[in-house]
Structure 1
Amino acid sequence: MEAENNADLVSVDLPLPFVHGLLALTHLMDNRVTGALRSALEEHQRTPTALKPETSTRIASSKRASPVPHNTGLFAEILGQRVQGGTLPDLFARCVDLIHELDPSAIERLADKKTHARRYVARRSQDVHFRSPHLKTIEAKSGWWVSANVSEPQIATAMRLLARAANLAFGKDFVFPLTTPRYP
């Protein structure tokens, strides 16, 4: 009977972030689909990959966010995909980009969240630091702006809120800080 079920399956190449997004919605799928997705993902993860830092984020000030020395472990993991950034703001921007690829409405939900002096993400640079618009911001590839003036605890809070906005379990589906390699 199992052989007959496998004959009904079709193999399709999909971008990895899309597969991770589908796996986050496994409660809506039947066991054959989730099993096929998980086995394909496990096969892909046998070879470790990491997103390489790029200089694609745009800083909206003459000062640059100071880069952290290499090999310091500025990583997060979202649905099994490792994300790396050169600075804490860059890492957060890359996480925003990945979640935006999977669920743009999650970033809209995060845009509604703010502290007493800043928004976690905004469509316009000047809307991030609404009390201190002179503070630096960076633009993510997705077009969202984030603060470049943040500490690690502030980024940790932002990451938790990003996970919550995307309906992901922080510490399981969304891991930050990623202190040890999660790949063999």
Structure 2
Amino acid sequence: MKATDQSDDLVTIQLPLPFVHGLLALTHLLDGRVVEALLDAVSAPPASGFETDQQTEEVETLPVRAKRSSPILHETDLVASVLGQTVRGATLPDLFGKCVDLIHKLDPAAIEQFAEQQTHARRYVAKSREDIHFRSPHLVAETQKTESGWWISKNVSENQVVAGLRALADAAKLHFGDDIKFPSGGS
């Protein structure tokens, strides 16, 4: 961590690497100094003066499931297939946005049709970020713009992305599970 005027307020602690990776998956909830320190610690070699436990058992790394828009730090299974093209995303909203962009390139009218669809609390896509969470205006910051210019929610679960991709397939007159697949195994 870089030296600051507030260095008296800082402490050094040892944490297991999997725990640090878990914390880094929650960067959207952490103070910038904490994130910077964790990233520095992960990328730096072990500091001298710290004892390493030779009896540390091997920790099995399990695939990380994305929630909200947290970055994926390990191998990810966030892969969809749209008309045979593989679409990968670092986060669920990123994956959903890339699928929207691909359909937009192929059929812009389908996205216009898709923009008319909504759930009880949000639209799948909108031209204005304020129109996404129409029942929860305080969530306007939880939106992101796709490359094709459409706004989507960043506050989504895997089930919500599946529902969104099903609705996208319907709007584009495609079949979810055949033309659009997510998770990568299909419907």
| Superposed pair shares fold, TM > 0.5 | yes
- On the 8 A contact 1:67/1:86 being kept in 2, the answer is yes
Q: Within 5 Å, which residues of 2 pair with 1:1-184?
A: 65-135=69-139, 136-179=142-185
- Distance in 2 (CA, whole Å) between partners of 1:69 and 1:160 is 27
d(CA) in 2 for partners of 1:65, 1:121: 17
C-alpha separation in 2, matches of 1:67 and 1:162: 24
Q: Which runs of 4+ in 1 moved over 2 A?
A: none
Task: Give the structure-2-normalised TM-score.
Answer: 0.60
Q: May I ask how many residue pairs the two structures share in their alignment?
A: 117
Q: Does the Cα contact within 8 Å between 1:66 and 1:87 map onto a contact in 2?
A: yes
The answer for unaligned runs of 5 or more in structure 1 is 1-63
Amino-acid identity (%): 59
Indicate the structure whose relative CO is greater, using CA pairs within 8 Å and at least 6 residues apart: 1
Distance 1:65 1:161 in 2: 21
Q: By how many angstroms is 1:69 displaced?
A: 2.9
Superposed displacement of residue 65, structure 1: 2.4
CA–CA distance in structure 2, aligned partners of residues 68 and 130 of structure 1? 29
Which position in structure 2 is the counterpart of 1:44?
Answer: none
Structure 1 residue identity aligned to 2:143: T
- In the other structure, the counterpart of 1:36 is none
Which letter maps to 2:119? T
Whether the aligned pair in 1 keeps the contact of 2:76 and 2:90 (CA below 8 Å) is no
Alignment match, 2:57: none
- What is the DSSP-based 3-state SS (H/G/I as helix, E as strand, rest coil) of the residue aligned with 1:73? coil
Q: Which has the larger radius of gyration?
A: 2
Asked if the contact 2:143/2:155 (under 8 Å) is kept, the reply is yes
Cα contact 2:123–2:132 (8 A) shared by 1: yes
Q: Which consecutive residues of structure 2, in runs of 5 or more, have no partner in the other structure? A: 1-67
Deviation per residue, 1:98-120 (Å, 9 max, x gap): 00000001111111111111000
Give the SS at the match of 1:134. Answer: helix
RMSD, matched Cα: 1.5
